[in-house]
Amino acid sequence: MDLTGLVSYIISAFSVLAGIAIFFGNEEYIVPASGRSLRLPCSFLFWFLALIFWAMAVKVEDDDSII
């Protein structure tokens, strides 16, 4: 595994932890105009980013094993 794969795994783990912290946190992120909470959309955004970085790290790992 090279540096790119390692950084992708680290960013993926950070994104998962950030999503969990937002989802289970005590703060409510309310949009003033609509009164809706952004807790769930922000959590899913971070989890989706984690999935993207995880897939990128696995792809880098697969490319390294072919050579």
In whole angstroms, what is the distance from residue 37 CA to residue 55 CA?
A: 29
Q: Looking at the predicted structure, is the pLDDT value of residue 6 above 90?
A: no
Say if residue 65's pLDDT is above 80.
no
Q: What is the pTM of this model?
A: 0.76
- Per domain, the residue ranges of the chain are 3-66
Q: pLDDT class for 3, splitting at 50, 70, 90?
A: confident
The alpha carbon of residue 54 and the mean position of all alpha carbons in its chain are separated, in whole angstroms, by: 9
Query: Is it the case that residue 61 has pLDDT exceeding 70?
Result: no
